[in-house]
Structure 1
Amino acid sequence: MQAIRQAMQWALAGLAAGAMSAAALADNPFVVDGVAIDARADNATEAQRTALQQGQTEGAVRLIERLTLPEDRMESDLPVVSADEAASLLAGLQISDEQRSSTRYRGVLSLEFDPRAVRRYLTGLGVPFVESQAAPIALIAVTERPTGERVLGGDWQEAWARGGFEHALTPVRLVPADSVVLEEIVSLDPIALQTVMETTGLDQVMVLVARQDAGNTRAAGVIVSFDAEGALQRETVDRVSVAGGYVDAARAIIEPREQAWKRASVVRDMSVAELDVSILFDNLAEWRELQQAVTGASLIQNARLDAVSRSGAAMTITHRGAREQVMAELRARGAVLAEDETLGWTVRSR
């Protein structure tokens, strides 16, 4: 009887963790930051109303472009988002850098959109979309001054900090400039990079150097990781050169990465499949993390808990998309879906 009671306690704890999964995620792809607004009108109230409407509409357009591919938007003949439609998708907003006069209103918006409303909107228009995020990458920003001197952080880091890129489908996590040594980072010192990965808990580090001259910004870098044997692996980040500031250069780096992630993750066939899986864990904390990874995956429509013990659980999941797409999304969430010769399909910690 005691064993049954303990098993039920574990099951309820896991279900609670699953219910909290959306709130527990640090990054929200339905948030759009840094939307600048500026409008004039005959009076202050009308200027503010116009500015907010314009900002909400721009934010909705940015979100839709983040979640969808250009060819799918064109194929679906996606209409222009109206102010009323943008407002209906919105869950909340914050205003910063607010400035007003009798005829003008300015500020910067951070907009949070309602995932359910956005899904209904895009599904109703027949536009395939991706809402799952890739595994985040640790980012070390190096600013190159006009003199050629390189410094950790600086304006380049500030651009990443205020650009809302943690909400991208390919999110980044900024590494504090005072936690690393410039010489070790630019030389790609393996020990220093391993320390960054251990500190952040991430598997990849992106080192980016950027410089601004006469209104143009150039940036380039490398993504590093370590293979199973501990050898350093490098992936070149394509050089960008934009007419604009550091935030524009950051967007130019993130956007092609998002496009590649969407093309690998998008599901156009809406049919579903069931899969019996065994969730394997060593303790309650690991069980909660794996339960959260599974129940929070956008491609998994339902996860039924069939049985649970102190070291494993049996679940039946209903998913959209190809099996490889489900595996990729779960891996990005810290879980590995793989087929075992003895146990069948299993989910373990990455």
Structure 2
Amino acid sequence: MTTLQPSLQRDQDLNFPRNSSTHHSFLATKRISHVLAKVKPATSKRPLVDLSITATIEQALSLLSSEDTLSVPVYRLDGAEQTKVYVAIVNVLDLMKLFNQQQQLTDNLFFQQSLEDAIEQTSQSERLVTVQVSDALLDVIALLTRQNTHQVLVINEQSQPPILLSQMDLLRYLQAHNHHLGPILDLTVPRLVQLDSQQARPTVTTATYKITAFSAFQQLARDARVGTLPIVDDEGYLVSDLGPQDLQGIDKSRFQELKKPILMFLKSNRRDLVVTPFTCHERFTLSQIMSALVLGKTSRLWWIGQDGHIKDVITPANVLGAFIALY
């Protein structure tokens, strides 16, 4: 388990410059308690959605689908009192990488594997990261952008159940307070990508619309650094995309649907005819990007160049990272 230590994180790891800016003046006064009060005000009245480490993959996929979430904290029962001890946060990408180990579509043993098999399939589930409600917002933003961590468990100081906090939750908070953030909102897409270039951004790979859904999931699982797979036509133009959430709701009865061509699968799986992904161009500002991600409830925007082809992908981590890079 990894626990955030704010003073060490700020002074030794991040080397934050001490300068003045509109967004800095606002964020420097905020703590995780402020975020929870805004984006999860009813969380304390609702039990944490979690699963036992002995739960099956089928149970996990069903829960993730019914709760419309991509991650679930996993616990084991400890001691004579069978106390819950959280050991990891498993997301759909972990399940997808486990799914990639299947050799053929007739192998339904995948669904009967336990969540324990999914832990550590990705670096995100190798360790459980916890923070406190009193931790500084800037420290947690840094944690969620520089340590390949997409979610953390927030430990409530009043002995309340822990709360799952994600990159998107922080983005929703910033979007709700964009009138306090100032000139940083005028950053355009090229500058946003430039600020992130120090992180060795992975190259975006594409898949053709001619492959099956099963092959597309396998390709995504093999190279999951981007976390989503763009689907292109014969001329390389973006027509759709595949993400970890598209594995939600797949059970034994629907397993054979993975034989379908990827576009046909996406249309049936998303239960509508709209499979066009969210895109942006180089003149999009950070303000517009935040609005598109939050209001569109999407985890990515594809940056399309003037030639109509994909140049890069913008994620919540890129947006949050800008607030740290320009602190």
Q: Which has the higher contact order (CA 8 A, sep 6+)?
A: 2
The structure with more strand, counted as a fraction of residues:
1
> What is the TM-score of this pair, normalised by structure 1?
0.28
Q: Which has the greater radius of gyration? A: 1
Normalising to structure 2: TM-score of the pair?
Answer: 0.29
